[in-house]
Amino acid sequence: MNKQLKSFQYAWNGIITAIKSERNMQIHLVFVIAVIVCGVIFRISSMEWVACAICFGLVISTELINTAIETIVDMVSPERQPLAGKAKDIAAGAVLVAAVAAAIAGTIIFLPKAIALFGIR
């Protein structure tokens, strides 16, 4: 197998490993699936799909980076240390920022459609 294909295989292995081992990644994927289902039900526009796809990528990517950082920190610093905790907290904060931004985008896209569909006033 050539080097390029091998690198894609390693990347997929990393994604699958994170999905299997990280509860937060599993939660994010449940939300991705829910948004996709809602997008189909509400027939969102192409640009709304683009916004959703960007949000999916942002949240999943930051969760993968967070997982990698936490794994490395745990490996090099198995005992509790303030700087290790700081690194892990900052990485988790990045995921939170991405998730909140995605939730805001989702609210902007889906709330008006839900209000129109269900006649909420």
DSSP code per residue over 92-118: HHHHHHHHHHHHHHHHHHHHHHHHHHH
pLDDT of residue 107: 97
pLDDT of residue 121: 67
19: how many CB neighbours lie within 10 A of its CB? 15
Let me know: does 84 contact 73? Beta carbons within 8 Å: yes
- Distance from first CA to last CA of the chain, Å, rounded? 59
**Residue 52: CB partners within 8 Å, gap ≥ 6?**
35, 36, 39, 44, 105, 106, 109
pLDDT of residue 1: 67
Residues of the chain below pLDDT 70: 1, 121
Tens digits of residue pLDDT in 5-36: 899 999 999 999 999 999 999 999 999 999 99
pLDDT of residue 36: 98
pLDDT of residue 93: 98
Q: Which amino acid is at 14?
A: G
Distance, CA of 70 to CA of 114 (rounded, Å): 38
pLDDT of residue 2: 87
pLDDT of residue 95: 98
Active site residues: 63
